[in-house]
């Protein structure tokens, strides 16, 4: 379906053997062009291939199939498309992605953020944006998707002692073997940032920038691409909050040959992870728990708790909070209603008991 020249050209866009393997069974079918999704805006898609870029839409049949599977087209996807007699490009197939970074939206529905990513760059500003609890949440997002994470502490020029912040993060994650690939403090406006990130910017690699608004994602994108591709704004002076300069996810090519996906800051990050994926992200808790005196230790007030003795307190609080969220979100509507009715009945019983003690009817 693809000749050698086309394959080599698409490798610069992140084409992998996993995606190529899905094309072999399609030999002999009606000719299609392989594209990578670079932008999604409602029904409009931005696509790129060795032929260049174009705008497209997904066929209704594909939209219905994806809806039935609770999936959506996302930046980073590989798709097959055809042009009709009117010159319009229509996507008719989405190739299965190697991985997807997903969250739950405010209504509880699964939302795919990006697909087919090699490395997640977790950005956290060395100003008011510095927050270890948020870092732990983003780490679960990355690990639950099977994507290695690299922590980038941006705005190093605004911090008196960036090295101390780096050490603080390392101590927070000291017992975890798979937390992050590395912790880097950078000034995203400077060209030497490219040198610091070069090991992850190889030809055909795909990176996604994740972090809150104002963390410096768009600034870093412009530096890595050596172009003003994304508008940037200053954060608020009192709390370093950003202004959502980036409104859609977009894939760009860097000067080093990698692809980078800039994303809007997430106002809320409700995780879409299982109990097993949460445990994997907090492998330090699981490893230390083997030394607890009690097998069913909750790492609360029990004596002989190895986790509480060794783990950074902030890290343990993150784990316990995410555990509670997971338990709450895993409860179905019927069980939620039953629990509500049970609490309401207990409340009525307590009120009746009080009235009887006061001699009321």
Phi first, then psi, for residue 125 (nearest 5°) are -75, 145
Q: pLDDT tens, 11-56?
A: 999 999 999 999 887 766 777 899 999 999 988 999 999 989 999 9
237 versus 50: which is more confidently predicted?
A: 50
> What is the pLDDT, as a whole number, of residue 244?
47
CA distance 172 to 285: 12
Same domain, 146 and 38: no
What pTM did the predictor assign?
A: 0.83
- What SS3 class is residue 125? strand
Name the residue with tokens 């230390």: 288
Same domain, 115 and 198: yes
Tell me if 352 is assigned to some domain: no
Please say if the pLDDT value at position 239 is more than 60: no
Angstrom CA distances, 158 to 82, 88, 127, 188, 233, stand at 50, 49, 7, 11, 16
Please say if the pLDDT value at position 356 is more than 80: no
Same domain, 159 and 137: yes
Q: pLDDT tens, 160-195?
A: 999 999 999 999 999 999 889 999 999 999 989 999
Same domain, 245 and 152: yes
Overall number of domains in the chain: 2
- What SS3 class is residue 33? strand
Same domain, 50 and 150: no
- Nearest in space to 243 (alpha carbons), one of 218, 270, 225, 207: 218
Please say if the pLDDT value at position 325 is more than 80: yes
Sign of CA dihedral 248, 253, 254, 260: positive
Q: Which CATH number covers residue 219?
A: 3.40.50.300
Same domain, 68 and 186: no
Phi first, then psi, for residue 309 (nearest 5°) are -75, -30
Same domain, 166 and 93: no
Same domain, 19 and 106: no
Q: Enter the DSSP assignment of 304.
A: T
- What's the token pair of residue 54? 């174009």
Same domain, 122 and 249: yes
- What is the domain extent for residue 157? 101-262
Q: Enter the DSSP assignment of 160.
A: S
Angstrom CA distances, 95 to 34, 104, 119, 296, stand at 10, 23, 20, 43
Looking at 69-208, list the stretches that DSSP marks H as alpha helix, in order from N- to C-terminal side. Answer: 132-144, 162-172, 192-197
Q: How confident is the model at residue 236 (pLDDT cuts 50, 70, 90)?
A: very low
Q: pLDDT tens, 94-134?
A: 999 999 999 888 777 888 999 999 999 999 999 888 999 99
Q: Which CATH number covers residue 39?
A: 2.40.50.140
> What is the pLDDT, as a whole number, of residue 240?
47
Same domain, 107 and 243: yes
Same domain, 108 and 122: yes
Tell me if 325 is assigned to some domain: no
Tell me if 274 is assigned to some domain: no
Same domain, 29 and 107: no
Tell me if 94 is assigned to some domain: yes
Tell me if 320 is assigned to some domain: no
CB atoms within 10 A of CB 207: 26
Instruction: Decide: 140 and 329 in contact? Cβ < 8 Å.
Output: no
Burial of 330 (0-12, 13-18, 19+ CB in 10 A): exposed
For the chain, give the mean pLDDT.
88
């Amino acid at each position: 379906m693809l000749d050698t020249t086309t394959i080599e050209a698409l490798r610069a866009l992140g084409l992998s053997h996993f995606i190529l393997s899905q094309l072999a069974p399609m030999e002999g079918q009606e000719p299609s062009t392989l594209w990578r999704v670079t932008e999604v805006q409602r029904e409009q898609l931005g696509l790129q291939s060795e032929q260049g870029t174009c705008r497209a839409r997904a066929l209704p049949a594909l939209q219905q199939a994806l809806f039935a599977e609770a999936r959506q087209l996302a930046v980073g996807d590989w798709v097959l498309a055809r042009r009709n007699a009117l010159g319009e490009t229509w996507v008719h197939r989405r190739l299965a992605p190697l991985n997807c970074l997903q969250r739950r939206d405010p209504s509880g529905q699964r939302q795919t953020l990006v697909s087919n990513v090699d490395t997640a760059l977790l950005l956290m500003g060395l100003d008011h944006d510095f927050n270890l609890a948020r870092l732990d949440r983003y780490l679960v997002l990355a690990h639950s998707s099977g994507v290695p994470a690299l922590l980038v502490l941006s705005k190093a020029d605004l911090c008196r002692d960036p090295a101390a912040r780096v050490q603080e993060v390392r101590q927070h994650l000291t017992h975890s073997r798979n937390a992050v690939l590395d912790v880097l403090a950078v000034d995203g406006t400077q060209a030497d940032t490219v040198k610091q990130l070069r090991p992850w910017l190889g030809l055909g690699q795909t990176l996604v920038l994740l972090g809150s608004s104002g963390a410096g994602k768009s600034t870093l994108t412009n530096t890595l691409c050596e172009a003003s591709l994304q508008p940037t704004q200053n954060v608020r002076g009192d709390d370093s909050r950003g202004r959502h300069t980036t409104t859609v996810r977009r894939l760009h090519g860097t000067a080093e040959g990698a692809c980078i996906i800039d994303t809007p800051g997430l106002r809320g990050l409700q995780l879409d992870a299982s109990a097993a994926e949460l445990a994997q992200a907090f492998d330090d808790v699981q490893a230390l728990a083997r030394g607890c005196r009690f097998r069913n230790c909750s790492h609360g007030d029990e004596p002989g708790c190895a986790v509480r003795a060794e783990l950074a307190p902030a890290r343990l609080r993150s784990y316990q909070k995410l555990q509670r969220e997971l338990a709450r979100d895993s409860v179905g509507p019927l069980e939620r209603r039953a629990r509500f009715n049970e609490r309401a009945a207990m409340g009525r019983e307590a009120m009746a008991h009080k009235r009887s003690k006061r001699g009321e009817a």
